[in-house]
Amino acid sequence: MANLKVDIDPNSGFCFGVIYAIEMAEEILDDQGYLYCLGDIVHNDEEVKRLEDKGLKIITHETLKTLTNERVLIRAHGEPPATYDIALQNNLELVDASCPVVLKLQNRIKNSYDKKEKIYIYGKHGHAEVIGLLGQTNNNAVVFQDFSELELDQLPENVTLYSQTTKSTKSFYSITEKLREAGKNVIANDTICRQVSNRDEDLRKFAAKYDKIIFVSGTKSSNGKVLYNVCKETNPNTYFISNKSEIIPDWFSKGDTIGICGATSTPMWLMEEVKEELERLQ
């Protein structure tokens, strides 16, 4: 027997925004038998498949334009104003599960845009949340993933800086400082979700307690990539998997202590499956 000692991080798993969206979806699925959802309800393929088996139908924005007289779930990432316009035109009932933190951020960006501020958003190109944020500015804001993308000599003197809610606070403040060192007047709006950012410190403490760490996340999750790197920095023996089938027994030695953790988009049931699989290793 491998005799592995396995624990799941109690602070890992869905953030409240994702829990809210999934609870809304399941309630309608139980009542109606099907529900359209605009994009993946969560960036985790295993959870999406579970809900698809219950009747969730994932659609694109192009498909949305062809629907009429239906209910459509808006996921936690939020949507740009154009989506709501389509819903009005097509008599669609939107079940809006946008995360309150994201909605607050959208409103702040809209207010800055109305004041004609030069808006820069630290976020992932093409990410669903970022598309919704851009929509508040008629797509006139500048999105960048890394400071190196910015051409400092081309930037205006006054910059209003925002961030995707799941980015690293450390990186955000580093970017703010670099812009100021370059002589820019920066209005820095720390719009990062604390339920996400506070996990950095908690995960470092968790990862340091074990011989090996198994980080469970969907490959599409931006938050998953950030938190995986947090674990890896703390404990080099950290392995990224999306489900139990990706476990490689050779990673472990007899009697290892194993910590399992995950992203804000990782369901607890998936981490529990991984724990059971590890405990079965011979």
pLDDT tens figures, 82-122: 999 999 999 999 999 999 999 999 999 999 999 999 999 99
**In the chain, which residues have pLDDT < 50?**
none
**For 5-13+197-279, CATH number?**
3.40.1010.20
Q: How far is CA 38 from CA 33, 54, 77, 84, 133, in A?
A: 17, 16, 10, 12, 16
Query: Same CATH topology for 5-13+197-279 and 101-192?
Result: yes
Cα–Cα distance measured from residue 235 to residue 215, given in angstroms and rounded to the nearest whole number: 11
Q: Locate 191 and state its tokens.
A: 């719009």
* Among the listed residues 1, 7, 28, 62, the one whose alpha carbon sits nearest the alpha carbon of residue 205: 7
Task: Domain ranges for the chain, please list them.
Answer: 5-13+197-279, 16-98, 101-192
- Residue-level pLDDT at 123: 94
Amino acid in the structure at residue 162:
Y
Which residue shows structure tokens 């920066």?
186
Placement of tokens 């470092």 in the chain: 204
Listed in sequence order, the residues at least 6 apart from 43 whose beta carbon sits closer than 8 Å to its beta carbon are 218, 220, 221, 222, 223, 224, 263, 265
Predicted local confidence at residue 282, as pLDDT: 63
Give the model's pLDDT for residue 86: 97
Q: Mean pLDDT of all residues in the chain?
A: 94
DSSP conformational letter for 249: G
Tokens 């961030």 belong to which residue? 163
CA distance 257 to 211: 5
First to last CA, the chain: 4
Q: How far apart are CA 63 and CA 160, in angstroms?
A: 35
Looking at residue 146, what DSSP letter applies?
S
Please report the pLDDT score of residue 210 as a whole number: 97
Architecture of domain 101-192: 3-Layer(aba) Sandwich (3.40)
Is 157 part of the annotated catalytic residue set?
no
The reported pLDDT for the residue numbered 221 is 85
Q: What is the DSSP secondary structure assignment for residue 69, as one 8-state letter?
A: S
Task: Look at residue 3 in the predicted model and tell me its pLDDT.
Answer: 83
The CATH class that applies to domain 16-98 reads alpha beta
Query: Which residue among the candidates 47, 129, 233, 279 is catalytic per the annotation?
Result: 129
pLDDT at 63: 97
